[in-house]
Every structure is written in C-alpha cells, then in structure tokens.
Chain A
C-alpha cells in the first residue's frame, strides 16, 4: 500500500487545481490510496439536487444505518465537494489538516 508523504504539498496543490483529473502518476498513487480507505467512516458526497447541490457525508460502519450528513458542508460545485472529500481523507490517512 502506498504511503502518502504528508509534506508533498505540491501534490495537494495539483489536486486542488484539477480535482476532476486526470492526475499525474504521483498524484494517482495518492488518490488511489485515499479511495481505498475502509468504507466505514469514509467521507463521501451525496447529491441532493441533480447537477446543482452536493452535501458532504460520512459512511456508517454497518449496513442498514444512517449516513451522517455533515452540517454546513453544502456545495454548489461538484469539484468543491470533491476537494473537501480529499482534504478530509488526507487528514484521516496522514493526520495532517489541510484546512
């Protein structure tokens, strides 16, 4: 499993500038690592108005239970929502807060 170097702010910047990809080979390793987090507590997006609104959410640990919709984390651009997902997962994996 790829180990993310939390000092690589250049890769964070690359993602922030192009969240939809395609990504450089080094950023692809980071993205794949973040996409392989356990499903429990994984931050995701929920589309609440097609093409217009997305809300940050966190997956529950078991089937049949509610997702947690994160209060105040509503996005009118999909790429902004994806950037928030990236930041949350980066913090989970590396312990570094990108806020």
Chain B
C-alpha cells in the first residue's frame, strides 16, 4: 500500500538553516518531491476543509527511488581490539534476564563473522537454552547447548568457556531463584578440535550478532530480548569459584588479573556509552537505545532511584524492536529561505499511486518574531505518539475506545514493518513498555491527511486561524525546551494545540515563568501538561517517558525503574510530582471518552464583567459546541476540570461546563481511587470539562477549554459558530496590550 516514506534531520527549522530530506521507496523506481504549506490537514471530503498551498522550492522535481533499510533492534558494540583477536582460552560471562527465551537464536555476547564462520558467541539457541558456538575460520562450527530452556524473566549467571589447549567448550547457567521456584543450575561440555577460535574483524557485540545490511553498512541480527548486566571477558578457564567472583565483583580485575573486559551499564546512564571498568579501557557504545537505569541482578529494593544505588542498576534492557536513528542517506537538502513565513510545511512525496507528507515547522528567524501570537506546536507530544501501534497490538483497544478497529493504510504498513519502531504507548515484542520515541525515522502519524489526533487535529486550529485571518508564528516544544521562558516572553499570547500532554521540566518551568511574568496562554485542548518526560542532551531527537503509579496509560512501568535515565528525574504525572496542571492552567484531566462528545453551558461566572469579553455575541442561554467533527461536540476525547485541591487559582472563573457525555466516557484513573458503578459520563458529575479564565499578577491571563475535541467544532457552519466566536473573542482580547487586572 505504501510506496514512499521519508523523514528529516529536524522537525523545527528557522530560515537559513538546512533541512535534510531522507526518502525510501517501496517498489517504486521514481518519485516526485515538492513543498507545500499545510493549512488544514483534515482530508475527509465530507468536512470540506482540507487546505494546502504549493510553494516553489529548488528541490521540486523527480528523483530516483531506492529502498533504504533500517537496522532495528538494540545492541552494544565494542570495537574490535587485539585483546579479542588474540584470544586463546577464555571465559565469557554475564548476568542475563531473558524475556523471550523461546523466540529463536539470540546473541548474548558475540564476536562472530559468517562465511566462513569465525569467532565465538554465547547465545540462546532455537530451543531457548543457553549455548555457545565457536568457528575456526575454515567453515567448522562447533556448538554446545544446555538443552534446557532458560527461565523467563529470571536472573541467570551465564558463562561460556573455551579451552584452546584441550578443545573443550562449556556453557553454564546458574539461576538466582526467587523464593518459591527451584530452577536448577546446569552445565554442558563438548569436545572439539583444539586450537584458537578463528580471528574475526567483527566487533564484540552484546545482545545481537553482526550482519551486513543491504546498503553495505554494518548492522545486526538475532537480537536478544531482556536485560544484560556486568558482561565480562576473561583470559583462561575460570573455575566455578573464580566465575562467581568475576561476575559479582564490580571491579573484577582487582580479584583476577586475567580479566580482559568488565563492562558496567551503571556508568554513563543517559548516554550511549558503554564503559569498560577494567584497565584495558575497551569502551564501546550502544545502538538503538537499550533502556538504561534498569534494575540489575543484585537489586535489593532498598533504593528506587538509580542515582542512589548505581551498583544495583547495572542492567541494560535490550529489545529486538528498539530504534533510535533510522540512519537513512540524505536524498536532497533544502535551505529554508529568509522570506518563508513561519508555519507548518511538508515535503510532499509522490510515488506511483501513493503520496506522503513529511511534516516540519518553520519558526521565525531566530531571535525575532513575526506575530504577537504564537502557536506552540506540541512536538514532544507528537513524538510520544509517533508510530502508535496500540490500536492493533492491544487486545483491549476497541473496548477502551468504544469503537471497531479501523486501520489507516499507514497502520497496515506499520503492522508489516517492525523496523519503523514503536511509540511510548506501545509494548515491545517482549511485553515491556516502550520508553523511547524518536523523530529520526519516518513517523507515519504526524502528517496531513492522517486521522484527527495530535498533530493533524492541531491543523484544525491552524486552518481556523487562516480562515479568520489571524496572524501567528509557529514555535515548538523543542524550542521551548531549549530556550525556556525567553522564547515565550517575545509573544503577547501563546496558543496551544489540542493535546499538549507531555512536558519536560525545562518546558514546564518555561511556561510557568512566562505566565508568572506577564504571559497569556490560550489552552485550546485537553489532557494537557500531564506527564513529565525528558529529552536527551546527548542524543538529539529522542524522548524518554516512564509511566509509574497511575494516569491514563496504556502500560504499566517496571517496578523500581521510575527514574528517567536522561535526567535522573522521577518520571510520571506532573500531578503526582506536586505540580498539577490545575495550578498552571486552572484545569486538569478528569475523564476520557472517545465515542461521543458533549457540549458546554454557560455558568453564572460567565456573566461576571471580568469574563464579558469571552462571550461577546453569545446568548445567555446558548448551548456552546453541540456540533463538531470530533464526536459531535466541543467537549470530548479527554476533558479537564477545575480542582482547588490540585491548585486551581482561587480567583478562577468557571465560565462554562460541559454536559451530555456518554456512558463510555470514564473518570481518569488518577481521579478515582476505587472503581465503582457510577464512573461514566451519564452518571458521574465529575465527568465534565470546565471552561475557565483567570488573570495573573503580571497583567496576563489564562483561558482554558479543557477539551481535546474543541478544535473539531471550529469549522462548523463554514467557521461561523459559537465555538469559533468564543475562540476569536479570547484571542482578540489576549492580543490587546491592555493588562488584565487581578480581582480584589
């Protein structure tokens, strides 16, 4: 179905900067590329609001297509060294926590090259058992296996030994038993012709075997799923007692002078560095971001924070579907011209009967603005949702969303192409939650003509702004993360998208400081400012998220692994961190429901003179937003309400609240400590969105609608409706220089 995809080196770019466009075709020999400005990305012909504008660009034209492979799956690489190639007899060992021992061959520690087979590999074989194989470089491969599957999600010390003098190879697995199980230690030995293992040019690798990709670049295969802790390589044959010492000791070379390498994943957490703590310094790096800051074989539970007990967080969790950087070659570049207005753009790619929009955001020239109003594109949230598989991976997806699974062509392609990676809503193939999401790969759900969620729902707001003739700049979460309040301070008012859910600490601090000074925020969404996440200062374009405790989440977090590796911060809900969204924008999430939306009715506070600007042209009893293309109403999807206990400012005006929510709209998990029989929208009074306004001491203010579906009502009746009018009223007042005055 899909013939063409692409991605860029950046999602946000300023005039004068270079965009690198990377394209892969799938069966098409030629493709066409051009530039469009995306004005409204809703391509449903029944809505009739799709708008794009073709822009002249020097790159427009025909190109030769090619398939660009992706080396998916995480692993570690220790560059080749004489210490590896001159091995005689040796012992290789690691603590492992296999999560899918039955999935087929998986490399644990490999120094291997095929055709003819050289080197050695400690692995899990096709029977799920620990095995070791050696290749002599002449085509002879010898393998020994325990022939008994490893226990899933249980720690084992695994060792492989090769005696070059006697020709004996052995493997040994020693489980750490949990209290009520009795997994047995086992050893297997085989006699082969003595002599050195074949010398190979390959690096030493953890969690995979090497493989040459179709484009001639080094890659990987036969990935290990699970954790590896304290991998070691030692010259000579270690006795059981010596193996135990080398495995348990954090600095094993202090106990055994024959240690060649002792790698420690508790060092350099938050980076791709793999440190060898032995005197040889055989350092390496990880590929595709295995998870770090993970509990090791010796985790006691005394500490939950990897920073406080790094010696107990020495594991890296590898997955065969991890992906950071797809690594595609650049097809062409585009230097953004000085006169290209700030906005949402796309490189439009066409191949045969398929097309694809590679989205990017153009901000004003750095240090300048071109409007008093900024639209803050939720790029961190777009990243969290990137290549979302949940709908077709999770059995409970249909009952969660009260719908029948209906896939897009892009989702059909994702189902068939694991190499495109996952979103933070998904689970890995071993069932563990996905913690990282990258923009350095094709993202199939951040484009025009995709369903109305996250990015494409936000274009409903952009399309409305264009229809209303309201000028705006586009800035992004990544800009806010890097520049903080100084970015926002340049604007009289800031407009959010429909669902600004994920905030890093610098983003949160930047927004809070902006509002505390004189900032004005129009929060046109729902379920905003919810999860603390992190961006890496070491590796661009990657988001980390951990989901401890509760919240609307599609997976649980591994106990004891709630601290983010990129920042060392405790992850989770901003609410649980003592900084609820209600204290920032007046409202916070109360309920979720995707089948039908409700509408608002004015409250008494809407007649307060402080709020009169909001309702100019709105009747006293007028129902607000009982129409729209997202669930049929302006209040839906995920909805927010005030809560003084959570910090809603005391002078907040609740000017309207929603009604008419469905029986499939339920309280959010963090709003209900105990499930009961009156949790849905037809029964529970807390299932509502509150429309709020409050002033700030600096003369600014905050207006919130508390609903994801608000934007879906803007275009109703050719943009002439009360949701549109209220939004326009608020923007007009927020762009007026006249300060808001705090009430007495």
Partner of A47, one of B46, B394, B396, B406: B406
Residue of A nearest to B1 (CB): A48
Binds A, one of B9-17, B182-190, B411-419, B459-467: B411-419
Q: What would be 19 A-B contacts, judged by CB atoms less than 8 Å apart?
A: A21-B402, A36-B398, A39-B393, A44-B404, A46-B407, A47-B407, A47-B408, A48-B409, A51-B43, A52-B45, A60-B415, A63-B418, A64-B417, A65-B415, A66-B416, A67-B407, A67-B412, A67-B415, A67-B416
- Cβ–Cβ < 8 Å partners of A67 in chain B: 407, 412, 415-416
B399 contacts A38, C-beta separation under 8 Å: no
Contact of A45 among B43, B44, B404, B449 (CB under 8 A): B404
For the complex, what is the distance from the CA of A77 to the CA of B617, rounded to whole Å? 39
Mark contacts of B226-263 with chain A using CB atoms, 8 A cut-off: 1 yes-contact digit, 0 otherwise: 00000000000000000000000000000000000000
Task: Determine whether B671 belongs to the interface, using a CB cutoff of 8 Å to chain A.
Answer: no
Q: Confirm or deny: A32 has a beta carbon within 8 angstroms of a beta carbon on chain B.
A: yes
Q: Tell me if B595 and A44 are in contact (CB < 8 A).
A: no
* Contact call B396/A42, Cβ cutoff below 8 A: no
Indicate if B663 sits at the interface (CB-CB under 8 A). Answer: yes
- Can you name the residue of chain A whose Cβ is closest to the Cβ of B43? A50
B392 at the interface (CB under 8 A from A): yes
Q: A36-B399, A42-B405 are in contact. List 18 more A-B contacts (CB 8 A).
A: A22-B595, A35-B398, A36-B395, A36-B396, A44-B407, A45-B406, A45-B407, A46-B409, A47-B407, A47-B408, A51-B47, A52-B45, A59-B392, A59-B415, A63-B418, A64-B416, A67-B407, A67-B416
* CA–CA, A44 and B398, complex, Å: 11
Among the interface residues A21, A50, A51, A64, which one has the most CB atoms of the partner chain B within 10 A?
A50
A48 contacts which chain B residues (CB < 8 A)? 1, 409
Q: How far is the CB of B629 from chain A (nearest CB, A)?
A: 11
In the complex, whether B492 has a CB less than 8 A from a CB of chain A is: no
Q: Once the chains bind, are A64 and B418 in contact (CB under 8 Å)?
A: yes
Are B407 and A35 neighbours in the complex by a CB distance under 8 Å?
no
The answer to whether the Cβ of B311 comes within 8 Å of any Cβ in the partner chain is no
Chain A residues whose C-beta falls within 8 Å of the C-beta of B395 in the assembled complex:
36, 38-39
Q: Which residue of B lies closest to A35 (CB)?
A: B398
- Given the interface pairs A21-B595, A50-B43, A63-B393, the reply to whether A35 lies near B412 with Cβ below 8 Å is no
Q: Does A74 contact B (CB under 8 A)?
A: no
CB interface residues, B 630-684, toward A, < 8 Å: 662-663
**Inter-chain contact B404/A35, CB cutoff 8 Å:** yes
Is the CB of A54 closer than 8 A to any CB of chain B?
yes
**Complex Cα gap A22–B408 (Å):** 24
Q: Within A1-39, which residues are at the interface with B (CB < 8 Å)?
A: 21-22, 32, 35-36, 38-39
Chain B residues whose C-beta falls within 8 Å of the C-beta of A47 in the assembled complex: 406-409
Give the complex CA separation of A36 and B404 in angstroms.
11
Q: Which residues of A contact B321 (CB under 8 A)?
A: 63
Q: Is the CB of A50 within 8 A of B45?
A: yes
Q: Find chain A residues with CB under 8 A from B28 CB.
A: none
Q: Count how many chain A residues have C-beta atoms less than 8 Å from C-beta atoms of the other chain.
A: 29
Residues of A within 8 A of B47 (CB): 51
A50 touches B595 (CB 8 A): no
Chain B 31-55 interface residues, beta-carbon cutoff 8 Å to A? 43-47
Q: Which residues of the partner chain A approach B409 to less than 8 Å between Cβ atoms?
A: 46-48
Name B450's closest neighbour in chain A (CB-CB): A50
Contact B449–A46 (Cβ < 8 Å): no
The CB with the most chain A CB atoms within 10 A, among B392, B404, B663, is that of: B404
B60 within 8 A of A: no
Question: Which residue in A22, A44, A63 is a CB contact (below 8 Å) of B663?
Answer: A22
With A22-B662, A44-B406, A47-B407 known as contacts, the answer to whether A65 contacts B399 (CB < 8 A) is: no
Given that A21-B595, A35-B399, A36-B395 are known contacts, is A82 also in contact with B408, CB under 8 Å in the complex? no
User: Known: A22-B663, A39-B393, A50-B44. Is A65-B416 also a contact (CB below 8 A)?
Assistant: yes
Closest Cβ of chain A to B221, distance in Å, is 14
What 5 A-B pairs have minimum CB-CB distances, sorted nearest first? A35-B398, A64-B418, A44-B405, A51-B44, A45-B406
Flag if A45 contacts B416 (CB, 8 Å): no
Residue in A closest to B419 when the chains form the complex, CB atoms: A64
In whole angstroms, how far apart are the Cα atoms of A52 and B415 in the complex?
23
Instruction: Choose one: B399, B404, B416; the contact of A85 (CB below 8 Å).
Output: B404
A38 to B415, CA, bound (A): 16
Chain A residues lying within 8 Å of B45, measured Cβ to Cβ, are 50-52
Most chain-B CB neighbours within 10 Å: which of A38, A46, A54, A59?
A: A46
Give B212 Cβ to nearest chain A Cβ, in Å.
21
A39–B392 CB distance below 8 A = yes
B429 on the interface (CB 8 Å rule)?
yes
State the Cβ distance, B572 to closest chain A Cβ, in Å. 28
Task: Find out whether the CB atom of A57 lies under 8 angstroms from the CB atom of B44.
Answer: no
Residues of A near B595 (CB, < 8 A) are 21-22
Q: Which residues of A contact B406 (CB under 8 A)?
A: 44-47, 54, 78, 81
How far does the alpha carbon of A96 sit from the alpha carbon of B663 in the complex, in Å? Answer: 30
B376-396 CB contact bits vs A (8 Å, 1 = yes)?
000000000000000011111
In the complex, A81 Cα to B403 Cα: how many Å? 13
A4 CA / B404 CA spacing, docked (Å): 18
| In the complex, chain B residues whose CB is within 8 Å of the CB of A44 | 392, 404-407
- B414-449 vs A, CB cutoff 8 Å, 1 = contact: the mask equals 011110000000000100000000000000000001
The CA of A42 and the CA of B397, in the complex, are separated in Å by 12
CB-CB under 8 A from A59, the residues of chain B are 392, 415
- Alpha-carbon gap, A36 to B512, bound state (A): 43
Query: In whole angstroms, what is the CA distance A59 to B395 when docked?
Result: 12
